[in-house]
Each structure stands twice: as C-alpha cells, then as structure tokens.
Structure 1
Amino acid sequence: MRYSLTHTTRYKYEGAVTVSHHLARLAPRFLPGQRCPWHILEIKPEPVGRSVHNDAYGNVTTYFECEGSHTELEVTARSLVQVLPTATPDPASTPAWETIREDTSGDRLNLSTEAGAFRFASPIVPVGQEFAEYARPDFTPGRPILQATVALMNRIFTEFEFNPAATDVATPVIEVLQKKAGVCQDFAHLMLACLRSLSLPARYVSGYLETKPPAGQARLVGADASHAWVSVYCGENAGWIDADPTNNILPSERHITVAWGRDFSDVSPLRGVTLGAGGQTLAVEVDVEPID
C-alpha cells in the first residue's frame, strides 16, 4: 500500500514568542517493510536554522529554531509512504519467553543483548510486581514469546476501555492499570510495563493508521491522530514483532512506523522550548490517504 501522509501541528501562544527551539520526529522510518521516498517539513514562521540527524534509536530528527516575534507556530509534515506486506512467524514457532529473557540478559554483545537495553524501566514506564502479576496468566512456563504476547495484547484489548476522558498525558501507568481505561498511548505504556516487569525487551512505537479503511474492513481506533503500539523482541530469527493492544492486531500494511524508543518521551512528534508566550493552545490534524 502507498499512502499520502499529512500531519499538521499548530501552536497558538497567549503572548509573543521571541525565540523558540524545537525537535521534530515526523519522518517515517525506512524499514524492510516500509519505504519513504519523499518527505518534507513545512514550518511557519520560517526558521532561521534547521538540521537533520538520527537520534540514538535511529529516528530521523529535525532541529529548528525560530527568532523574531511570533504568536503562532505551524509545522506540517508531508510524506509519501509505501508499506509492504511482511510475513509474521507462527506465534507457536517462536522461542519460549524464558529463553528470550535469558538470552537478552547475557554479557556478550549480540543481537539479543543489544535488544536487552529495552528490558528496563524508563522515564514513563515503570517496572513492578503489579505489572508482572497482571501479565503472568499469559506467560505460563515454556510458552512461546509471541503466543504469550498476543494473549496479553488480547486481554488488554478485552478488559480495558478506550476512553480519552479517563487519562491525560501525565497519568501514571499504575493508574491506567487500576482504572482499566485510557487511550493508545496508555495501553502501549501498560503493555511495555508488563513485558519489562518480566525482564522481556519491548519498545514503544509511534506512527499512524490508515484513516479510511478498505471497503468491508473496520476503521481502526486512533486513526485521526498519531498512534502508538509496542514491539517485542522475539529472538534473533524472528526479530522484533509489533503488537497493537488498542486494536488487538499485529500491525501490517495499515500501520505506518515513524519512530521508536523506550516510551513516548523518546518519540514525541514535536517538542520545544520558547522564550515568552505564557500559555498556549495546541491543535493537531492527521490525514493518511491511500493512493491507488
């Protein structure tokens, strides 16, 4: 599938901003199953300087700075993305989850121990007994890692309510577990906490969903904004496998990957600091259109 992707972010400031510095992670990644032949970042007011680099996780990151009095900032990312069908291994054929836990905690550098960097708590995602206990019914002794991950994903989808009013960006993950409600970011953070509390490597993935589904297919939850899901390491042969607990699916051609990291704090689409302003309002528009 090919998609035309537009992501517009608008800030309106209560007072004039004289200087602002920003980081944007809005360019889709190049992956074995994904191509981004064209991407442009339009910024108003025109920045006095910008530079592009890859961060520690390989995400394309644009730094820009604006000078001169302004009361609004508008950033529009336009991309052409091609998502290719990729084969997902039979969940029952993946290694036992205990094997993954042991392989990724070794002291010799290889693909598994490199993935092990995602086994630990991060700024937003804690590890703890409560999360391990929630995951334990799905991670029975000897169960294949992907099979157990799919079961955990299904249980979060079944037992938790998608409710934007239940949480905000500062809601702790333990509160999400207690309320059993939240949005895609909450469900991704919760699933990460569960997996990492069992010492399993898992990372946060940000991206988009197809806005208008093919005829006869259901519209996915979260298609009007940036979406979030998780990726779990399933061994050197299977590699990283994505899982979307908000929609209870293993992502394929309808998911577009932009960035990944330990949690949302590593991959926020746009962040920055301003001199002046006071308060501000934020509006975000996302449109993902399939191209015949």
Structure 2
Amino acid sequence: MILRVLHTTTYRYQGSVDMAQHMVHLSPVDTPCQHVRSHALRITPEPAARSQTTDVFGNQRTFFSLQAPHETLSVEADSLIETRPPAPLPDSPAWRAQSWERVRNHHRYRMGAPYDAASEFLFASPHVPRDDAFAAFARPAFVTGLPVLEAARALMTRIHTELKYESASTEVNTPALQALEQGKGVCQDFAHIMIGCLRSLGLPARYVSGYLLTQPPPGKPRLIGADASHAWVSVYAPVPAGTEADADSANGAWFHFDPTNDRCGWGSPGEDYVQLATGRDFSDVSPMRGVIQGGANHRLSVAVTVAPPGELAELQAAKA
C-alpha cells in the first residue's frame, strides 16, 4: 500500500514572536513494515538554522530556530510511505512457551546478566508512572502461565472493550491514571494506560506515534486535514532459541498492539498504519515543541490527511 501523509501545524501568535527554537518528530523511519519513499519538511518563515539528528531511540528529529520577528509559524510534513502487511503474532510451540512470567523474569536484574536494551522501557516515565492501579487493571488478562503475546492481546482487548473512546475527554497532559479512573480517553491515553499496565507487571513496553488511514462515512468524501495523529504500543519479547528473529532486533522482537482499534501484529498493527517515532511515552516523541520569546498568546491548528497519493491529488485539485 502507498500512502501519502500531510501533517500541517500552524501557530498564529497574538503579538510578534521575536525568537524561537523548536524540535519536531515528524519524519517517518524505515521499519520491517514500511519504507519511506520521500519526505519533505516545509517551514515558514524560513529558519535561520536547521539540523536533523537521530535521537537515542532511533527516531529522526529536526531542530530549527527562528531569529526574526514573526506572527505565524507553519510546519508541513509531507511523506510518501510504502507499507506492507505485518506478520501475525507467532503461535509456534516455542513462542507459546514464552509465558509472561518467563519474560518478566528475563528482565529482572541479576548479577552478570547480559545487557538487554529493551530493559530501559521497564521504568516509570513522565507520562506513565508505576502504580498498583495499572497492575490491578491488567491482572485479569495475565493468567498464570499464559504466553506473553496472548496476555498482551487480552490486555489490549480489555482496554478496547472496557474504556470508552471519547474525543476531547482528556488533554495532552492528562495523567494516564486519571484517564483510567474516568474510564475514557483518546488513543494517547489508551497507549499510556496499556504501557503502565505492562510495566507494572515487569514487561517492557514503548509508545509508538504515527498515523492510521481512516475511511470517511459511507457516501461522504474524504476531507483534507480531517484526520489526526495516532498512537499505539509495542511490547518486547525475547526470541526463543532456534527461532528466526524479526529484523528489528538481534535478541528479541517488538510486537505492536493498538488498544484503540483492538488490532495487533508483528512489526505493525496493520498495513494501513504509518509509524513516526517510538519512545518511553508521548513526551519523547511529541510532534512539535519549543520555546519562544514574545507572542503572549497563540492559536494552534493541526491538519492531518492520510490517503493514497492519487486520491489526495484529486482532493487538492478539487479544493483549489
């Protein structure tokens, strides 16, 4: 599948901003389930300085600074991505022997144990504390001896079924525990809750930001800018001895779970997903953040469109 993603962020300031520095995570990366054919980041006004680096989690991030007064700022990420269907979760006898308790024990500290980079995703992070409330919610899904991937899928389904997806029910900084307590939220909340549940049981889990191809209601055209960013979770499990590993790890693999839509897969939840970045939680992969001097107040607008490139071109031509 070929997908084009347009992600436009616009700030309109009340009063002029004299100087600004920003960091964005808007560049997709190649993964076992996607290939970046092209990517362009257009910034208006033109930055005085700009650089792209790879962060500690392997994400592509862009820093830019503006040294001249400005009253608006527009950042448009335009990406063309080739996606592939993910492999299903493995279900061989070797993988079924990977109980969640066995994976938990693998990551427990013991003297002389070899280093496993996935262990850094066991600990509390700014948006995901360690709390008994997460463990209590997770336990019904984690039956004794259950294979780790089967348990993670059961937890994903529990979140999808028992929590209500409700737009505008939370803010970007709403604590995950509050979203769990109120029983509703959006994809970011569901991802943080699932990560908190997994970490509370000693299982590494990370936050994944990206996009999902959505379908307009029957009989309605696709609207430019009406989509939104998406978030889901990936769970790490050591690869059993004698089993071929996934391309993203020498010793283990990351399996993707989307509690918002109750979908999962090896390398991605589905062919209609585009991955942007991974981190401990949202704070590591915020699409755009920065500091400014001046501009007392601002209005923020974000427009995202995910569509096959031909369809998007037709929509743009019709809009023009």
Same fold (TM over 0.5): yes
The corresponding residue for 2:166 is 163
By how many angstroms is 1:115 displaced?
0.7
Looking at structure 2, the residues matched to 209 and 235 of structure 1 have their Cα atoms a distance apart, in angstroms, of 28
The corresponding residue for 2:60 is 60
Kindly tell me: are residues 228 and 91 of structure 1, through their superposed partners in 2, closer, same or farther at Cα, counting changes over 3 Å?
A: farther
Secondary structure in structure 1 of the residue aligned to 2:302: strand
Q: 1:124 aligns with which of 123, 127, 132?
A: 127
By how many angstroms is 1:291 displaced?
4.1
TM-score when normalising by structure 2: 0.85
Moved more, 230-239 or 60-69: 230-239
**Contact 1:91/1:144, CA 8 A, preserved across alignment:** no
Looking at structure 2, the residues matched to 167 and 91 of structure 1 have their Cα atoms a distance apart, in angstroms, of 37
By how many angstroms is 1:29 displaced?
1.1
Matches of residues 208-287 of structure 1 in structure 2 within 5 Å? 208-212=211-215, 224-236=227-239, 237=245, 239-250=253-264, 251-287=269-305
Secondary structure in structure 2 of the residue aligned to 1:68: coil
In structure 2, give the amino acid aligned to 1:109: P
In the alignment, structure 1 residue 21 sits paired with structure 2 residue 21: yes
By how many angstroms is 1:281 displaced?
1.2
In structure 1, give the amino acid aligned to 2:138: A
TM-score when normalising by structure 1: 0.93
In structure 1, give the amino acid aligned to 2:108: S
**Contact 2:107/2:119, CA 8 A, preserved across alignment:** yes
By how many angstroms is 1:211 displaced?
3.2
In structure 2, give the amino acid aligned to 1:239: A
Looking at structure 1, the residues matched to 150 and 27 of structure 2 have their Cα atoms a distance apart, in angstroms, of 32
In the alignment, structure 1 residue 140 sits paired with structure 2 residue 158: no
Looking at structure 2, the residues matched to 150 and 291 of structure 1 have their Cα atoms a distance apart, in angstroms, of 33
**Contact 2:29/2:36, CA 8 A, preserved across alignment:** yes
The corresponding residue for 1:180 is 183
Secondary structure in structure 2 of the residue aligned to 1:227: strand
Give the unaligned 5+ runs of structure 2. Answer: 240-244, 246-251, 311-320
**Contact 1:104/1:114, CA 8 A, preserved across alignment:** no
In the alignment, structure 1 residue 50 sits paired with structure 2 residue 50: yes
Give RMSD over aligned pairs.
1.9
By how many angstroms is 1:117 displaced?
0.8
Secondary structure in structure 1 of the residue aligned to 2:291: strand
Looking at structure 2, the residues matched to 143 and 114 of structure 1 have their Cα atoms a distance apart, in angstroms, of 24
**Contact 2:89/2:255, CA 8 A, preserved across alignment:** no
Looking at structure 2, the residues matched to 86 and 152 of structure 1 have their Cα atoms a distance apart, in angstroms, of 20
Aligned-residue sequence identity (percent) comes to: 47
Looking at structure 1, the residues matched to 84 and 235 of structure 2 have their Cα atoms a distance apart, in angstroms, of 20
Q: Which runs of 4+ in 1 moved over 6 A?
A: none
Kindly tell me: are residues 50 and 179 of structure 1, through their superposed partners in 2, closer, same or farther at Cα, counting changes over 3 Å?
A: same
By how many angstroms is 1:106 displaced?
4.3
Looking at structure 2, the residues matched to 189 and 89 of structure 1 have their Cα atoms a distance apart, in angstroms, of 22
Give the unaligned 5+ runs of structure 1. Answer: none
By how many angstroms is 1:89 displaced?
2.7
By how many angstroms is 1:84 displaced?
1.2
By how many angstroms is 1:83 displaced?
0.8
By how many angstroms is 1:271 displaced?
0.6
In structure 2, give the amino acid aligned to 1:81: I
In structure 2, give the amino acid aligned to 1:170: N
Looking at structure 1, the residues matched to 50 and 280 of structure 2 have their Cα atoms a distance apart, in angstroms, of 26
Looking at structure 1, the residues matched to 170 and 91 of structure 2 have their Cα atoms a distance apart, in angstroms, of 32
By how many angstroms is 1:91 displaced?
5.0
In structure 2, give the amino acid aligned to 1:78: D
Looking at structure 1, the residues matched to 173 and 281 of structure 2 have their Cα atoms a distance apart, in angstroms, of 13
1:216-258 CA distance string (max 9 Å, x none): xxx9xxx811100000012234610010001111111011000
Looking at structure 2, the residues matched to 86 and 182 of structure 1 have their Cα atoms a distance apart, in angstroms, of 27
**Contact 2:23/2:61, CA 8 A, preserved across alignment:** yes
Of structures 1 and 2, the larger Rg is shown by 2
**Contact 2:16/2:71, CA 8 A, preserved across alignment:** yes
Looking at structure 2, the residues matched to 233 and 87 of structure 1 have their Cα atoms a distance apart, in angstroms, of 15
Looking at structure 2, the residues matched to 194 and 179 of structure 1 have their Cα atoms a distance apart, in angstroms, of 16
